[in-house]
Amino acid sequence: MTTKKRGVIGILTGGGDVPGLNPAIRAVTIRAKREGYDVIGLKRGWAGLIEIQRTKGADNSHCYVHLDENIVNKIGRTGGTFLHSSRTRASHVPKAVVPEHLVDTYTEEINDLTPEVLKNLEFLGIDYLIPIGGDDTLSYAVRLYQEGVKVVALPKTMDNDVPGTDYCIGFSTCITRTISMVNLLRTSAGSHERFLVVEVFGRYAGFTAMLPTMAGAANRCVIPEYKFNIESLTELLVEDRHNNPSNYSVVLVSEGAMFHGGEMIFESNEMDMFGHKKLGGIGDIVGKGLKELSPKFNKGQRVNVINQKLGYLVRSGDPDAIDSIVPMAYGNLALDLIMRGIHGRLVVLKNGRYDNVPIEVITTTSKKVNVDKFYNVERLRPFYKSFEMQPQFIMTSEF
């Protein structure tokens, strides 16, 4: 423990919650405090940094909190993020949600509040910023880095689609829960001899459907990277059902999956600040299609369907072992960089080793399933030739 004050580190979490965020916050805080830094937890992602009032006596307790070991030790083993989260994009804030004390300054329909963010970072005396998030949250971190902020970012998302890294915080728990819950649902599918259709997360990348299927949780999966034919899927699932002594079959459906000739299915046309509409409903539509088409491939007999959307069940609760260990390592790696005066980096796992890459990789590349290498488009399931020298989670970042 050093008594020399080295500076102030700000940490925030943005986007969807996942298990592993609190362990990351704990790791950063404990290491930073022991190395002589003060740590400020910024609340609700980028929202906390646009809502601060820089006037004397203003109550900013909803925007930030000073962290210490006593605070983070209480939350380090739990899921979610005790700093809370939001999908705020400080560079694209709609007029309707501009903070009240700024409404006279920012009057456009969409407003760039980055000047306020920069002033608020200076107001708090933050020397280094550690944002934890997916490609949306971290894309704004890239913007701040370009504005001169010293940023070291940590990748987080259940979809595991942040480019530049093999692993994002939350992915392992998501996969573990998906396998477990699908196996629970098998008893009902088998009892009633049905198709089991399970909708899982995955807007643009199908890793959360591919890995459980590869592990044996499902017979087939459909993913955003390949538009599928519903008749082909029905025929395959009828075949799988016939070959199963319990007379049922299972398909995992990524929320961003699309029918051949179709587009993504949305719950509504309302968009968040990053331009994303809320996905949902593809699983139900797939289930309906399977039921209607099943007689064509099942000797005229209709096969009924069990539909289940896993949703928040896979992102809530405590982290598994990997999502307890990796965030701890990521947090300490961020401090290693800060103490060496290095910034503008994304902490990563690459080929089984912890490392860091330029933060710009977040906005200059994308991470999706390599269909030619890993997805059998005829059989609608994962494909591989050999696991030799592959990383732990097989399908990884290539850039």
Active-site residue, selected from the candidate residues 38, 135, 136, 159: 159
Integer Cα distance of 28 and 142 in angstroms: 20
CA-CA distances (angstroms) from residue 136 to 49, 202, 223, 367, 387? 16, 14, 21, 13, 32
What would the two tokens of residue 61 be?
A: 């307790």
What would the two tokens of residue 163 be?
A: 């480019």
Integer Cα distance of 399 and 364 in angstroms: 10
Residue length of the chain: 399
* Cα 386 from chain centroid (whole Å): 28
Residues in contact with 61: Cβ distance below 8 Å, sequence separation at least 6, in sequence order: none
CA-CA distances (angstroms) from residue 367 to 108, 166, 208? 34, 10, 13
* Cα 213 from chain centroid (whole Å): 19
Active site includes 159?
yes
Integer Cα distance of 112 and 340 in angstroms: 32
Known catalytic residues?
Answer: 159
